[in-house]
Amino acid sequence: MSKKKRKTLIIPKKMVTADEKNSILTNKAVEIIDGKISSFLPIDVIEKQNYDEVFEAKNLTLIPGFIQTHVHLSQTLFRGLAEDLSLLDWLRFKIFPFENAHNKDSLRVTAQLSINELLLGGTTTLLDMGTLRYGEVVLSEMINSGIRGFSGKCLIDKNDLYPDFKSSTKDEIKDILKLAQNFHNTAEGRVGYSFSPRFVLSCSEKLLKETKEIMKDFPGSIYHTHSSESLKEIDEVRKRFHKENIEYFNSIGVLDDHTVLAHCVHSSSNERKMLKERDTRIAHCPSANLKLGSGIAPIPQYLKEGISVTLGSDGAACNNNLSIFSEMRFASLIQKPVHGTDVMDAKTIFRMATIEGAKALHLQNEVGSIEVGKKADLVLIDLDSYSNSYSDSDESVYSDLVFSSTTENVRSVMVDGRWIIKERDSLVYDQGEIISKGKVELKNLLKRL
């Protein structure tokens, strides 16, 4: 028996496709059949009666859903509670104790609040770092919410900063095997597993290496860790291993094209050579790097050397928001005083937040641009607001997206052809309800400290 295919038509003012040619289309509608982009139609030939839904958005611009390659869904509940600290103290005194106090209920609601915030801001794909316990809660919430991406339990089998917050190597390995078996490549491929050693200082060499081995049984999964974020952290790595952070990772064989390293604020030329040779990907989180006083990552240098760089907002406890628009803006502005005004132009930044993010996660055949055959992960954005450019030319569209828009400009968001945000309303979460639930769970969590 053949099932009738669902057909949707979106008629925007303009489409910024992020395809190879950076095509910008006007007077075209996009046809979506069963969650995939099937064609672009000139608006004067469309037959509206052929569609289950015709979404007229003649004042809005259609863009690919944004992709964030480093977030912490578990930390959104801690926003505003870990201020004015540098990385290691921030972990020792605040974040590790907070994460250690999570139970399933608090973790569920922080995941809901995070996903809601990310979707409202136009992010449709994420790579999450997870937390030590209850990895299944975050993964199942990702499945329920309709968002795309990867998560996995955060691996910690050593912890000098906060010894209560760790597990044994044996249990860590047992847990990730079970979680990856249950969650990798679920929700029709929308949700994948990411193996997430927290950082060098919280993992034994055995755990780092065995995790990489296990990963080979789960094709398409990601190895996601932090690296070279702050100078104190790197000093500690040097003391323990007599190597730089990335050199150490390279020496134990965990760098390859399925490894994403968050930050890489500090690196030597030798380390950059290793990143390039191994085709390892960097997740750049400029707001978090500024707020924790970690430094400014040499992104123009990475790009010049052909190293993959994408964007993430990191966690709400060190940002303090999850807006890709803030990250895009900072990613550009912080480099210009150092490297000159012509670096990190708006088009480059927009691609880092879309198609380059997809490539970093090996999802470039599915998402990251608006092209026939790809999945319909799409965002309708209002670029005609009071704070945007008054020019309708294609020239201003990238600077409008990167420099003068915020999450407030996002109107509607679709993943896999299914609307999740429509006219700024979530079709998945009752926002008032999750905010009040969040407040209750945070209060309970703080009592468990």
Residue numbers at the binding site for Zn ion (CB under 5 A): 314
359: left (phi over 0), alpha (psi -120 to 50) or beta: alpha
Residue 205: CB minimum distance to Zn ion, A:
21
Complex with Zn ion: residue 285 or 355, whichever CB lies closer: 285
423: left (phi over 0), alpha (psi -120 to 50) or beta: left
Residue 151: CB minimum distance to Zn ion, A:
13
> HEC states along 139-199?
HHHHHHHCCEEEECCEECCCCCCCCCCCCCHHHHHHHHHHHHHHHCCECCCCEEEEEEECC
Residue 25: CB minimum distance to Zn ion, A:
36
Tell me the three state secondary structure of residue 263.
strand
Complex with Zn ion: residue 271 or 314, whichever CB lies closer: 314
Tell me the three state secondary structure of residue 422.
strand
Contacts of 260 (CB under 8 A, 6+ apart): 69, 70, 127, 222, 223, 224, 225, 280, 281, 282, 283, 360, 361
Complex with Zn ion: residue 35 or 197, whichever CB lies closer: 197
Complex with Zn ion: residue 314 or 377, whichever CB lies closer: 314
Complex with Zn ion: residue 71 or 179, whichever CB lies closer: 71
Residue 110: CB minimum distance to Zn ion, A:
15
- Give the CB-nearest residue to Zn ion: 314
Alpha-carbon distance values, 368 to 14, 18, 65, 192, 358 (Å): 17, 7, 7, 16, 5
Residue 341: CB minimum distance to Zn ion, A:
30
Residue 369: CB minimum distance to Zn ion, A:
26
Question: Which residue type occupies 296?
Answer: I
d(CA 180, CA 212): 13
Complex with Zn ion: residue 31 or 233, whichever CB lies closer: 233
Alpha helices in 216-309, H assignment, sequence order: 231-241, 245-251, 269-278, 286-291, 299-304
Residue 198: CB minimum distance to Zn ion, A:
9
Complex with Zn ion: residue 281 or 375, whichever CB lies closer: 281
69 close to 331: Cβ distance less than 8 angstroms: no
Complex with Zn ion: residue 67 or 346, whichever CB lies closer: 67
Residue 291: CB minimum distance to Zn ion, A:
12
Tokens, residue 210: 């065995």
For residue 24, the tally of other CB atoms under 10 A from its CB is 17
Tokens, residue 168: 């044994």
